[in-house]
A and B are shown apart, each in its own frame.
Chain A
Amino acid sequence: MNFDSLPHLLTLATLLPLGSYLVLLFGPKFGLHEKGRQGKFSATVATMAIFLSFALSLLALGIWVWETPNSENAASSETALVIQTVSDSYQQPFHAGNSKEVDSQPGYFLSGRYYTLFQTKHLWLGLEYYIDTLTLCMFCMITLIAGCIHLYASSYMEDELTDNYVDDSISPFYRLTRPGRYRRFFQYLSLFCFSMLGLILSGNLLQSFIFWELVGLCSYFLIGFYIERKKANQAASKAFLVNRVGDFGMLVGLAVLFAYFGTLSFATPSEQLSNPQTAGIFNQLKGRINPSTLVEEPPTQLPNDAEAASPALISYPSPSLPYWVLIVGGLGLFCGCIGKSAQFPLHIWLADAMEGPTPVSALVHSATMVAAGVYLLGRVFPILPSEALLIIALVGAVTLLLSATMALVATDIKRILAFSTISQLGYMIVAIGSGAWLGAMFHLITHAFFKSLLFMGAGATIHAAGTNHITEMGGLRKKCPYTAYSMLIGCLALCGVGIPFLIGFSGYYSKDKILEQVYTLGIASPWTGLLSWIPGLLWAAALGGTVLTGFYTFRMWLLAFTGQPKDHKTCAKAHDPSPMMYGPMFICAFFAITLGWSLPFSSFGLTSLLKEAAPVNAAHTALSSSTLTGEVVLRSSPEVAKEPLFTIESEPHHHLPSVTQPVILLATGGSLLGILLAFGCYYTYHLKPSEITQSIPFLYALFKEQYYLESIFRILFVTPILILGTFAKFVDRFIDFFLEKIISIYRAFANWWELFIDRLFVDGLLGLLAKGFLETGYSLRYFQTGSLRTYLLFLLGTVTTVLLILQILLT
């Protein structure tokens, strides 16, 4: 087993859920259906497929860790021929001063082609793979969480295992009875996992886009699982439509990148390293970043080069790469991410997506769907220039604060968690935007674990309490301790609680990484001019977010699990779910605690793994726009050295203690402050939440109504479209009126023609002729007497007559 087997393992891991989907789709046609819909055949198939995928991913990760050559024997190792050492040209530290901060461990990745769709001299389209430690970590995370959720759902969805599922949530006056959809649910879950894994594995942006859309489609199916309920139906359509808006921007970005790079592959395939025609985007870009090419092509020569090469537009890679391409391409991809990862202003679909079954929410909010956007940004991080990152960071910060404040006042437990997801995604986006690649990816993975845990817990809580609203729960801690305490772990991890400098939950480490980078942003190289307020704003948003997170998380937990039960009847019947449901929760809880830890007596852990994939010398640190030439030039080249307005530095692997110490203290203090406030409000009742809300009615209404964004969107987009539609309808009716008039004239003419020309004239003549023949026939009939003697008589008469006539005529 070596690196060669990695693509095969991961491909198999990707295809297993697809196989499960196909089995569940076509199984009934070949008699593979549950006996009387009582069996859990479909759940078994889907769960086994996803756990097999997990085993394969884990095996692949193990091979990677085992086989990764150390920096000493990299040159001599046989496997070094197969994998590309990014260090040889790409990830060499650009600034000499930075080299101490960069780990000596080079970033490795595997890339190659599966299948060629079509190929011309300059163009290649097809399926590729790109594997680095980020791919592997994501594979393990997705398959493990999806596996847990499959187990959970196999028990949670049991009420669908019937021929007569009664759905009384449609309307109070109507109870729908329909066949259960247990098999269909697992069918969609499998397809969902397949799409997400395919997205992670894909080696070019086009392939990513295909799986990206598949993920969106599956989420549509699953959010609209109870398709008969109007709200679910609308939520599914909303999710789908809002994502289309983002995907439009993404398509623009893809088109721009394709037009200028001539390829959408991330990297050159391993087997074609020597062929410059097949250079991937990263490789083409690094040719411009690499200092060695700078020596061969000084920036002053660039305009000449561009002139010489300008007639040959088809020669890829394009010699002149305008700087705006990277900005437009990067922002276009970010548009897709805004839609998929629910960033402001397209976050509105995520809270409505709660209409789907709870396991779907758990999956959508952790491992799949929303993770896709952040993952894609992380993957294309090397091509994002500073300007794009600035916008990304601002959008993330706005999302973070907005959704956190919405979570403060929401009462539906699933909606609180949904807003919390948006907020945490905002953290990841801020991290990407401020250059904290590692922090973003780390937080993506840790968040997936504790958020799926929280959603599974929420499902159990709703089941126990019989309501979605935390204001109607209370006192459930005694009745369902397993749920309560595993959710407590999830809440603590979400808040990022830990003992500073010692140990903490996984969220403590990942959130800390993000905050450190955001804190560094303005300090390392102060921003000048109009933009000088931005680092401060980002820092305030990130730190304020921790307080809000602490507050809303524990508001939810305290209201649901402590205090006095509001409804004693349902509380008396409340109980913990079956082991099939809390088992997966325990698995997730375990990882929510430990994911940030390193293995004892070594530095090996999730962070060290992810660090291997971290892009060291990305576009935003090495490139800067030159207004003079419009070319990509190196920032350090003396000819165009202009002091930039702002810089976004790459994330160092170890921040200085002068950064980490205040950040850790502030972050932990912030979340503890939030938690304490929540305790004050909802446990010890020193603070009165109702009084607080009454003192700020305006803000309360703003949070409660989600900043009236729904209404704004309704006024800005939905209503104009409806008005346009109504107007178009009237225009249509107007046109119809004339068309109908013309039609009626034609019809009248046709009627007249039919009556007079056709019926009277043509038909009359033919009728007369026919009648004549008929009459003749009837008259001749009388001669046919059938009597032999009469015939003879006629014969005689005729002959006699003829002879007589002849006699007369001839004489």
Chain B
Amino acid sequence: MFDLLSQPVTLTHYLCISAFLFTVGLLCMITKRNAIGVLIGIELVLNSANLNFIAFGSPYFQQSTSGIDGQLIALFVIVLAASEAAVALAITFHFYQKYQTIDVDQGQDLKG
């Protein structure tokens, strides 16, 4: 663990940061009852994935044959995240109108 801190920056560092971001995002989604908090968690998870793509696609860390595929997918994910945020905000808005709150625990219509 401490070896990493003393080593020059490699792919592993990126992956560690990405895993940390993913975990934080997931925990944020789980723990936050505020819908906006959940959205923030989602953005964190998406960005951790983006970081992975960039890292794997970077020619500096390893001899890659994939060209700029990683960067392209990262761009797609950013666009996707933007549109997802728009839809999710609309859902949140609608949710608010219905329940007068954005506490996701209040919406339990899917309960079996």
Contact = CB atoms under 8 A, between A and B. Distances in A.
Interface of A: 780-789, 792-793, 796
B30 A792 contact: yes
Contact of A787 (B26, B29, B104): B104
Given A796-B26, A796-B30, A789 B104 contact: yes
A780 B111 CA distance: 11
Contacts of A793: 30
A227 B69 CA distance: 106
B105 interface: yes
A786 B110 contact: yes
A788 B38 contact: yes
Given A784-B112, A788-B38, A788-B107, 19 more contacts: A780-B112, A784-B110, A784-B111, A786-B107, A786-B108, A786-B109, A787-B104, A787-B108, A787-B111, A788-B104, A788-B105, A789-B29, A789-B31, A789-B33, A792-B29, A792-B30, A793-B30, A796-B26, A796-B30
8 contacts: A780-B112, A784-B111, A784-B112, A788-B104, A788-B107, A789-B29, A789-B104, A793-B30
A800 to B, nearest CB: 10
A579 B54 CA distance: 128
A781 B112 contact: yes
B76 to A, nearest CB: 23
Q: Which of A780, A782, A785, A789 has the most CB of B within 10 A?
A: A789
A796 B38 CA distance: 15
List of 7 A-B pairs having minimum Cβ-Cβ separation, nearest first = A784-B112, A786-B111, A786-B108, A786-B110, A781-B112, A788-B104, A792-B30
A789 B30 contact: yes
A756 to B, nearest CB: 39
Interface in B77-112: 104-105, 107-112
Contacts of B104: 787-789
A796 B33 CA distance: 17
Contacts of A796: 26, 30
Contacts of B26: 792, 796
B60 to A, nearest CB: 29
Contacts of A789: 29-31, 33, 38, 104-105
A408 to B, nearest CB: 106
A492 B29 CA distance: 130
Interface of B: 26, 29-31, 33, 38, 104-105, 107-112
A22 to B, nearest CB: 75
A782 B108 CA distance: 13
Nearest to A786: B111
A347 B17 CA distance: 128
Nearest to B41: A792
A786 B108 CA distance: 4
Contacts of B105: 787-789
A783 B112 CA distance: 8
A520 B29 CA distance: 138
B70 to A, nearest CB: 23
Contacts of B30: 789, 792-793, 796
Contacts of A787: 104-105, 108, 111
A789 B38 CA distance: 9
A787 B29 CA distance: 12
B47 to A, nearest CB: 17
A784 B26 CA distance: 20
Contacts of B112: 780-786
A783 B111 CA distance: 9
Nearest to B112: A784
A189 B25 CA distance: 107
Contacts of A792: 26, 29-30
Contacts of B111: 784-787
Nearest to A789: B30
A789 B30 CA distance: 5
Contacts of A785: 108, 111-112
Nearest to A799: B26
A706 to B, nearest CB: 96
Contacts of A788: 38, 104-105, 107
Contacts of B109: 786
Contacts of B110: 784, 786
A105 B23 CA distance: 138
A781 B111 CA distance: 8
Nearest to A783: B112
Nearest to B32: A789
A792 B28 CA distance: 11
Nearest to A784: B112
A778 to B, nearest CB: 10
A139 B30 CA distance: 113
A783 B38 CA distance: 21
B38 to A, nearest CB: 7
A793 B104 CA distance: 14
A790 to B, nearest CB: 9
A467 B6 CA distance: 145
Nearest to A785: B111
Contacts of B29: 789, 792
A511 B112 CA distance: 110
Contacts of B31: 789
